[in-house]
Structures are given as structure tokens and as C-alpha cells.
Amino acid sequence: MKSDRRFIDENGKVLMLGNEALVRGCLEAGVSYISQYPGTPTSDIGEYFHQVLRESPDLKEYLVHQWAVNEAVATSSCAGAAWTGVRAFNPMKHVGLNVASDALSVIALNGPNPGAMVIGVGSDPGSLGSHQEQNERFYAWMLHLPTIEPHTPQECKEWVKLAFDLSEKYDLVINLRTSTRSAHSRGFVELEPLIKGKGKGEFIRNIPKFNSLPPHAINNHVRLYERIERLRKAIPDLGLNKIYPGDNKIGIITSGMPFGYTMEALLQLQLYDVPILKLGMIYPLNYQEITNFIQDLEKIIIIEELEPFLEMKISEIAQIKKMNIEIIGSEYFPKFNEFSTGLVATTLANIFHKKPNEQMIKAIDYFNSYKEMIPSRFPTFCAGCPERATLYSILKATNQLENTVVCGDIGCYVMSFFPPQQCSDLIICMSGGLSAAIGMSTKTDQKVLAMIGDSTFFHTGLSPLAEAIGYNSNILLIIFDNAWTAMTGHQNDVLRYLINKDFSIEKVCKTWGVPWLRVEDSYNPKKLTKSIEDALNAKGLKVIIIKRECGLQAHRYRMKQIRRIESQGKKVQEEIYHITGCQMCHECSRILSCPAIRRVEIDGYETMQIDDDRCIRCGVCYQICPNGAIHKSTLNLLCEEVPFRH
Amino acid sequence: MKPIETDIINIVIAGTAGQGVITLKRLIEFAAQKSDVERVFGSEMHGLAQREGAITSHTRYQKKIFKDERRNLQSPLICYGDADLYICLEPVETLRRGIFASQKTTFVLNEYDIPGVMITADLEAYPQLDKIVEILKEYSNNVHTINATKICLNKLNSNLMVNIFMLGYAIPTGKIPFIDVGHYEEVIKDWLRDPDINIKALHLGIDEGKKVNYS
């Protein structure tokens, strides 16, 4: 394998994802400090910074990347760094902005100077990797965050550099807003020289600027308006907004990824004369720039995903400037879900009274007619996942959730609600499950169970746990202590640092005085089931910590050990699970539901079969089979045993 | 019709998590770069889709771009009914995202099925392979199936290279134009851990593909 030089080379043309290009742009802008909590679609940004620091360790003097415990901490950390006069970057997913907004509302007011601060919000229209979709552009207006929306990886790189310059020049926090689509689309990027960030800065005391309390709060608010107005004036010279001229009396205003869909939709419809204003900066807007574009037009179509932000802001400008023009958008386009070229093309065909491309209509009609026969394939837990095994024990201990409410949360276990297990009744937000359980348990006699993962626990779970202890809430809290932020891709994050420092959830619970506490292993399902039964029969707060490493990581580590031993010419002990005499009771497929088990037909008889390639040897199915049909054999009995690490 | 250099080339790759859909997309893109393609823009999914889920990726490139940006590749997603080639690593995944295919689309399909947990639990039914192929053939004249998983297990002793094998199988269709086989080999050497066996899988696929009478 060749080494990846895309973050090292000083020039050239390379292929990059939007997120990779953002990182490259930061390195070309002399960024000094990055802090973030992982979350799709921005998790990989931190991984690229870590790659850079691994490849060029001498950069550590100039560049610090920290995985924060949550987004509010990350945002304030970035502000702290920026206030020493350096450039700070703060990526987060769209819902991360909700967590960070409390801090950000003050930081934006104070301003990031003498340094610069850029936040990189990854929006998620279509909820492709999130528990909800929201149009966080409204924060731009509320908190005065100038917002730039790139469309290609080249723009991601160019514009994040520009964002740092603007932040520094106007004392504003700039939002470089991507989406799941633009963050994870690949295109060419022209490299420019790298600039080392400042190694050290210095905080210079400025009480009015950094203490937004009366009377300074109002003064800073006034100053914020002045800063925004200065930027608004400068917009036409920034090169962010671009007009594609045309003679049609109907024009289009759009930005970001919807611009790409729009261009190709017009190509599909053979509409080559529609004038388009592509906005690179969607907040603030320069009034003159907008009125210049719309003044000779009869109708404007605003093409934007989710709630109509631009439609509202452009209608506002038209009203202020007393312009008589029809502005449409959200009455034709959906206000939910992600857009696509096909969707924009069919909608524009309707507006322009054009016939949509025939092959497109045929494709939609033909394949939609077979939708019913396509089986579902939702994301689920990996083979051998300790969380899946825990759900099995919950289902068994509660007789399939009889008189039981399970408050779910964010992490891999967010998938608990999917069939066939369906072991989660509600999801709110990071640590929202435990919080909901506190209130719910005061109002129902049902058994209330809450689940939380270790990373979520440190993110925002400590506070509701303290409250649950305080009130001795009648809840069973199950904490998945799997040692990784698994859902976002096992980042080497703060959780790992805590583990390395021997800081454990068990210690927190013990010190804080959790009245009923057990530590269990979900790879021992019968014992765990019994513990859950005991807990649900007890009153007050009960906590069960499931201590078992993420199956994916444990398996990877174990295979590495095995390969190492085998490369020395030695053999290792090998466990194999196989099924004979299967009664097709479906205990393993419906209640445990491990994807390493497959239903097959052999000689006309149906049986379950274990896929040796996917089975990680957790042994749970072997322990739970009610008919003893799952067997274990051990090969190379006298050779070295390689157990899962614990 | 033979593609010309200004055409936007549209390739859909569909499969399930772990089959190497994203790796295959990257290989084609990096090989396109080596072949001096002027624009590449394609979308891949990260995150939730990793876990046993259905995955589709869109690979798009344009060898020569027009001066007029309105005629160029601008979106990382293919329009409905606009795919030139559909590489399907798992049968039913072909139907799930079929709407990107037109009646001119060439389908290359791995016959080996990966049923999800709902099929194993006998709570949903997996359609017969013959039925899937029949639906595709009723729509397009260019549907070619092969049990790539079986061939890879037999000849390479692993099913990990099914994606690369299917790329090879698709190359003789001519629907991935302007990219040399040598460029795939270079990219495999640059980016993959076991280049030798992957290059072997690529050529195994090409040999099988050459046996097909692609129209």
C-alpha cells in the first residue's frame, strides 16, 4: 500500500471527499486547534486530523486535535483557544449544534477575536445517519452565524479557508455547513501550500468583550449587529455567490447540494435559459445582490432542502425593497427529506409545464410496482454484538416486555427498536432516555427501563444519573460499557483516554452511591437475565453495567493475535459452533437475531446454520438454544487459547 | 451506442454492508483519475449503513467537460432512469434501488444472496432469484448474472474479492469507458492491502466477462 500524501503534498490535484477537503483547507489555513464530539456526517473529520498528526508528528507543536466529551464542551474549548489568538475549528453534526448552541450564543456575541473560529455543521436532510432531521440554518439568523454552503469538495477546501479569514476580519463565528451528501461525495481538489498554525497564543484581558453580562451583554449585541452589517456589505466581493445568466423570466435561487441537483434537472428537462443565482453564503444576504438578480424576473423559484429559510429571507428582502415578484418554493418542494436530481426534475417539470424525461418516469413506475416484494434490510447489530445479547436478556426477563417500557438512547443500541427484537419504546436525544425514565417512573406502575452507552453516559448521562440517584427513581438503568464510541466508527476519543486512566463507570456509580448496582456480562445470558429479573423486582434505582467490549473491535483484536501466533508457525485453539437437530423454534433468529445465523434448506428440511465467516465465537446462541441443537467443538485442544480481551 | 468523451458516465453499485461497495466505488474513481478524467463526483454513504444495511453508491465521471457548466456533471447522485451500468453484488439490492436504471442500463448481477435477519426469522420472504432476474430482463435487454461468490470461493478461497471480481466482469461491457485495466491494477496496488489476490480477482472477472456476448 502506498502512503496517502493528500494531506502532506504542497501541490497537485487529488480526489477527496468533502470532509477530507475541509481538513485539507484547515491545514492550508493554518488551523491550530480542533475540538469535536464524533457524529455522522462529521466523525471522519477528526480521523483525518489524527492521520495527519500520525504521519507528521512534528506538527503536534502547531496543531492540536481533541475529541471532546460533548459538543458544548468542544465549542467552548474552541472559543478558549481562539481567544488566545489562534484559528480554531469545531465540526459537529446538526443535532450537535443543539447541544453547542447554549455556548455558541455567547461566543458569537463576544466574537472569536483576536483569533478565528469556524464551526463545521454537518446537516442531515433525509436523516441518513441521525435520529432526526432539522434545518439548523435558522440558528444562523438567531445567533448571527454567517453560514457558507459548499457544493463540491473543491469549494469545501476553498471556502473553509475563506471562512477563517472572514472570522478573523469581522470577529464573527462562521458556519461552514455541509450535508451528509456533500461531506461524503468525492471530487477533485487543487492543492495549495500548507501553512503551519500558531504554536502558542496568549489571552489578553478584555472584560467587556468576554463578559457578556449587563451592561456588556447589550453592548456586545450592538457590536454584533455592526459586525454582521460590515460583512453583509462585503459579500459581493467574496466570490461566494455566482450567477448563471439566462433569458427566461423565471429564475432560480439555490445553494449547496441542491444547486447540483438543479443544474442536472434543468439539463434533463432541456431548460438551458433559466437564470440561476447560486448562493455560497446563505446568511447574511446582501440586499443589492439579491435585488439585482430578481428585478427583471417575473417569478423566483427557491430550491432548498427542509424548512424554507432562503424563501423567507428573500421574501423579506422583496418586501423591504417593495418589489412585486412571485416567490415560490416550499409549496412545490417537500419540506422534509433529502432532495435528488429526480425530485427536482419532476418538480421543475411541473412548474415549467414541461414533460419530464420519459425514461425517468418509466424507471419510477416500473420499480415502484415491485416495492412490495423487496424484503427490508435495516441496519442492525453486528454478529456477536454484546448489546444484541443484552436485548435478548431484557426480552427474556420481561416476558417480551410485558408491562415494561424501554427508554432507548443514541448509540448502536438506537437500532434496538427494529424488528425482530423491537426492544426500545422511545428515543429522544443523547441521554434523553434516562431523563424520560425519571419523569415516567413517577407516573406509571409499569416497569421502566432505560439504556445508555458509555460514550453517551459521559456525553450528558452523568447529570440525569445524579438526579435519578437523588430521587431514587424507580428505574432499571442498563449501561453498555463496551469501551468504544462504536456507532460513529470507534474513534480514539476521550472515552479511550478515560479507560486508559482507569476511570470507570463502575467507580462513578459506586462513589456516587447508586443503591443497587451489578456488573454483568451479556455473553453470559442466563446470569444476566436473572439479574434483570432481580432488578425489576426491587424498588428504587437499579443499575446494571454490561461490561463487554464491542464485538467488532474485540474480534478484530483477537484475529490480530491469532494471525500473529500463526505467522510464527504455531496453531491456536479454535472454537466452532454448528447446528444439528434444529427444531426451528426461532429462539436464535427472532429473540437473539444474530446475523451470523442463516436459515437454509438441506435435503428438503429447513434448519438454521451458522455462517462460520461471520460468527465471532461469542457463544451466546450456544447457551440459549432451548433444544441443545447448537454444538461447540474445540479444535487443536492442546494449542494456545486466544480469548477475547477483557 | 459508444460513449463519447463529454458524456457523463453513471454507474450504480449496490450491495449490502461489508461487500465492499464503497471500496469498489473508490477504485473506479481513483482509476479514472489515473486515466486523466476531468471531472469525478460521486456519493458514498457512511455511518448507519455500515451495519448489515443496504448500500448503494453512485460513481460518476466525465472524461472531458464542456465550457458551459450547465452541461456538466454537477451532482453526486444519478438521476432516476439515468444509470449506464448497474453492478449488483447482491440480487435483491438490485430491485431496491432499481429506479436509477433505464431500459438501456446494463446490469451485472452476483447471484449469491445474503438474506437479512428478517428472512432468517421467517418474518419476511426473500424473492426467488429467477423472479428477480425475470423482472430485470423484462425491463432491460442487458442483464447478465453470475455466481461471483461461488467462483471466488472456489478459485480464490475467499469471498472478500467479490466486488473486484464483479468490476472485472463488468469491464467488457464497455460501460466503464476511458479507464485502462492497467490503471485499476495500479490503484489496487496503491490502496488495497492484498494487491496480488485482488488483481487476480479482477482478471478472473474480466475473463468471465469476455465470455458474455454484451450487446
Topology alike, domains A242-370 and A386-553 = yes
* Cα distances (angstroms) measured from residue B81 to each of A360, A365, A575: 4, 10, 49
pLDDT per residue over B66-99, tens digit each?
Answer: 999 999 999 999 999 999 999 999 999 999 989 9
Q: Are A306 and A134 in contact (CB under 8 A)?
A: yes
Distance CA A482, CA A559 (A): 18
Cite the DSSP H helix spans in A447-487. Answer: 454-456, 462-471
Contacting residues of B for A261, CB less than 8 Å apart: 75, 77
- Quick one: fold of A386-553? Rossmann fold (3.40.50)
Q: Contact B48/A608, CB-based, under 8 Å?
A: no
> Nearest C-alpha of chain B: how many angstroms from A334?
18
Say yes or no to pLDDT of A643 above 90.
Answer: yes
Specify the CATH number of the domain A242-370.
Answer: 3.40.50.920
The CATH label, of 3.20.190.10, 3.20.20.70, 3.40.920.10, 3.40.50.300, for the domain at B8-210 is 3.40.920.10
Contacting residues of B for A129, CB less than 8 Å apart: 46-49
Residue with cell 423482472: B135
Q: What is the mean pLDDT of chain A?
A: 96
Say yes or no to pLDDT of B49 above 60.
Answer: no
Given B53, B125, B191, which is nearest A375 (Cβ)?
Answer: B125
Given B17, B39, B116, which is nearest A188 (Cβ)?
Answer: B39
Confidence of residue A645 (pLDDT cuts 50, 70, 90): confident
* Cα distances (angstroms) measured from residue B16 to each of A44, A443, B22, B96: 21, 43, 10, 11
Say yes or no to pLDDT of B210 above 80.
Answer: yes
Q: What is the mean pLDDT of residues A428-444?
A: 98
Q: Which of A201, A172, A179, A71 is nearest to A133 (CA)?
A: A179
C-alpha cell of A321?
425593497
Confidence of residue B2 (pLDDT cuts 50, 70, 90): confident
**What pTM does this model have?**
0.97
Q: Which residue in B has a C-alpha nearest to residue A360's C-alpha?
A: B81
pLDDT per residue over A341-378, tens digit each?
Answer: 999 999 999 999 999 889 999 999 999 999 999 999 98
Contacting residues of A for B80, CB less than 8 Å apart: 340-342, 360, 363-364
Asked if the C-beta of A377 comes within 8 angstroms of chain B's C-beta atoms, the answer is yes
Say yes or no to pLDDT of A500 above 90.
Answer: no
Confidence of residue B215 (pLDDT cuts 50, 70, 90): low
C-alpha cell of A368?
415502484
A237 compared with A2, residue with greater pLDDT = A237
Contacting residues of A for B71, CB less than 8 Å apart: 267
DSSP sequence for B61-119: EESS--SSGGGS---SSPPTT-EEEEEESSHHHHHHTGGGEEEEEEEEEE------HHH
pLDDT of residue B22: 93
Q: What is the mean pLDDT of chain B?
A: 94
pLDDT per residue over A294-305, tens digit each?
Answer: 999 999 999 999
- Residue ranges covered by each domain of chain B: 8-210
Given B80, B127, B192, which is nearest A363 (Cβ)?
Answer: B80
- Residue ranges covered by each domain of chain A: 12-237, 242-370, 386-553
> Nearest C-alpha of chain B: how many angstroms from A627?
17
- Tell me which of B7, B99, B103 to substitute to probe the interface with A (most A C-beta atoms closer than 10 Å): B99
Confidence of residue B46 (pLDDT cuts 50, 70, 90): low
Four-point Cα dihedral B205, A3, A60, A38, nearest 10? 0
Q: Contact A129/B29, CB-based, under 8 Å?
A: no
DSSP A439: H
Q: Contact B192/A128, CB-based, under 8 Å?
A: no
Say yes or no to pLDDT of B47 above 60.
Answer: no
Asked if the C-beta of A540 comes within 8 angstroms of chain B's C-beta atoms, the answer is no
pLDDT over 70 for what percent of chain A? Answer: 100
Contacting residues of B for A597, CB less than 8 Å apart: 120
Confidence of residue A196 (pLDDT cuts 50, 70, 90): very high
Q: What H or E segment, with its residue span, contains residue A140?
A: helix A137-143
pLDDT of residue B18: 86
Distance CA A174, CA A165 (A): 10
pLDDT of residue B48: 58
Q: Which residue in A has a C-alpha nearest to residue B191's C-alpha?
A: A1
Asked if the C-beta of A361 comes within 8 angstroms of chain B's C-beta atoms, the answer is yes
Four-point Cα dihedral A83, A84, A85, A88, nearest 10? -70
pLDDT of residue A3: 83
Contacting residues of A for B52, CB less than 8 Å apart: 377, 379-380, 382, 595
> Nearest C-alpha of chain A: how many angstroms from B166?
21
A12-237 placed in CATH 3.40.50.970 = yes
Contacting residues of A for B100, CB less than 8 Å apart: 363
pLDDT per residue over B29-43, tens digit each?
Answer: 999 999 999 999 999
